[in-house]
Amino acid sequence: MQKGKFWLMGLIAVVVLTAAGESYFEINKNLELFSSFYKELLSNYADPIDQEKVVKAGIDAMLGSLDPYTTYIPEGDMANYKFQTTGKYGGIGATVRDLGDYIVIAEPYEGFPAQKSGLKAGDAILSIDATDCKGKSVDEISHFLKGPAGSIITIKVQRPGTKEPISIPLQREEIHLNAVSYAGLLDGQFGYVRFTQFTDNSARDLERALRQLKKENPSIKGWILDLRGNPGGLLTEAVDVANLFVTKNSPIVSTRGRKPSSTKLFKALNEPFDAQTPLIVLTARNSASASEIVAGAIQDLDRGLVVGQRSFGKGLVQTTFPLTGLRAQIKITTAKYYTPSGRCIQALDYSHRNSDGSVDKVADSLKHAFQTLKGRTVYDGGGIEPDAPVAAKEYSQLMSVLVTKNLLFEYATHYVLNHPSVNSIRDWQWNEIADLEQFLETRSFTYEAAGETELTLLQKKAKENGEQELLEELKAFKASLHRSLHESLQENKSELSELLSTEIASRYALQKGRFQNAFQFDADIKEATRLLKDKLNYEQLLQLKK
């Protein structure tokens, strides 16, 4: 029972330590209830109880009544949590994906052990240090690949196009993923930076990238800070990132919680890198948390324009607390954050759940108007609304099927085997429908367009019920809707060209190649560069005073 007691003691310590100002009578009453209930359960239940499992279930149930960001971090998850906050881990530097019986290398990171040792996208991992990897999950393989920096690991892979497996010894390193996954020049005049995470020192990564671009291109006429897909991270790093573009002492974000210590105002403490050059911040539906702090500050201070799609809408701040006597922690939502205009962009109200436990978005009628520094109207309660919205790219059902079944990934591997190189990565486009069709036929791929699947189910029911006339009508209707694989591929050739061009480009030049090739298809990038070129339109959207 000792382990269960430690769990309970840790929980009680957290409750007591975080309940300053609460009614101690209520606290003690509820703790006594929990303790008494736990004791009687352990003493009298018919079967032996896994105490750790039961207490974990109790913790999960308590947290389930709150928001999804208040979480328990057990000892076994501390390495992943450390990676989320520091961007560092011991490993080989590669992403992996599930592909049939084996996990395969999805993409090696440039300059890290996987790439330096010759691992390639598409390599199926047969074994790791003699451990058979058939049937293992992505999480299991990721765990096997990680380890102390300097340790040796041997990976046996089956490479497409080769008959015999290849054994590759390599030495793990401390992998520090740079928060800037790509930096370069667009249209010969605009500095572009893809910023992917707000971890320790990520603002320094960004500043280094910006300064290097400026050094190489002194006449840069505009900046594009790409926060699409950035899920956020450390609030302090968000403040430092915004500080690179706004004048010293400018307000960036404030936090407010129940405890006085949770109420803080964060200002730009340093001189900026560049507070004058036109700036555009790209956001998408998956830009969240710290990304929204930066985008909100840039928008509220009228420092630049936000382009793309409305952001996620996470306006909650978490603080991590150690659990007494345990190598575990609890991450608790301790405050909400507010942009310089005073708005909280939290989209879901977890404090008022429906009877079924669901949570609603903040209704438009409950949203409030706020003013930017120069008087533009912005709203709370639903993420950051772009100054220049761009419709999100919606792919066809066929693309969803091909991506989900990893067929485009497999075809890219097949293509590279038969094409040692391609012309200029930046503007190269794939356009070999016949080759793809032939490849899909070797995989016995069949496809039913939207509506055909439903008709197949109706046909089955009609057959079961003996409704022959209806069955014939459904067959005829389905035949009129059906498109051959050839027709379906032709109808979606522009989407195929986009997705395969970028995937294949990454096989030749890794992440750098993927980004460079994707620019030609990117509607958000095109709108950003258009606005930076059109100075009058840019200033009109900011409502600059003449």
What residues are annotated to the active site? Answer: 289, 300, 314
Instruction: Tell me whether residue 270 is exposed, middle or buried, using C-beta atoms within 10 angstroms of its C-beta: 0 to 12, 13 to 18, 19 or more.
Output: exposed
CA distances from 383 to 20, 92, 289 (A): 32, 36, 9
What is the C-alpha to C-alpha distance for residues 346 and 339, in angstroms, rounded to an integer?
11
The torsion of the CA quartet 309, 315, 321, 323, rounded to 10 degrees, works out to -80
Q: Which residues of 419-442 are buried (b: 16+ CB within 10 A; e: fewer)?
A: eeebeebeebbbeeeeebbebbee
Q: Please, are residues 198 and 291 in contact by the beta-carbon 8 Å criterion?
A: yes
Structure tokens at 277: 């050059």
27: part of which helix (H) or strand (E)? helix 24-44
Q: Please, are residues 499 and 408 in contact by the beta-carbon 8 Å criterion?
A: yes
Q: Please, are residues 329 and 320 in contact by the beta-carbon 8 Å criterion?
A: yes
Q: What is the torsional sign of CA 427, 431, 435, 441?
A: positive
What is the C-alpha to C-alpha distance for residues 37 and 30, in angstroms, rounded to an integer?
10
Tell me 22's DSSP state. S
Which SS3 state, helix, strand or coil, does residue 75 take? Answer: helix
What is the C-alpha to C-alpha distance for residues 89 and 520, in angstroms, rounded to an integer?
34
Where helices occur in 233-302 by DSSP H, the ranges are 235-243, 290-300
Structure tokens at 314: 């996470």
Residues 6+ away with beta carbon under 8 Å from 196 = 177, 179, 180, 181, 229, 230
361 bridge partner residues: 348
- Note the maximum CA span of the chain: 80
- Chain center to CA of 379: 25
